[in-house]
Structure 1
């Protein structure tokens, strides 16, 4: 029988800096902010974080 060790998860503050040009690709800073908050909220609630999730969310805000 294999014994497992629990993983300690620590939440840290995150700051994201983007250019205006990059933000415009997502419909402006407000939509990009909402997208990033949604992704971080899902990740914080143990959802899987991968490129498919991010791609799905970015299409939702187009």
Structure 2
């Protein structure tokens, strides 16, 4: 059986980790898929963070 090239990755807000002055406690996380062959580096997208209440960068985590 061949492995699929698309994998599921988790994106986490970069500002929630270090910012203590946010609207609610916790860290915003999104799940998405990426093509392992085309995108070998870590994925970084600008998404809406419900805890910071604004659009922030979300980076791929393990």
TM-score range, shorter chain: under 0.3
Determine which structure has the larger strand proportion and give its number: 2
Bigger relative CO (Cα 8 Å, ≥ 6 apart): 2
Determine which structure has the larger helix proportion and give its number: 1
TM-score of the pair, normalised by structure 1: 0.27
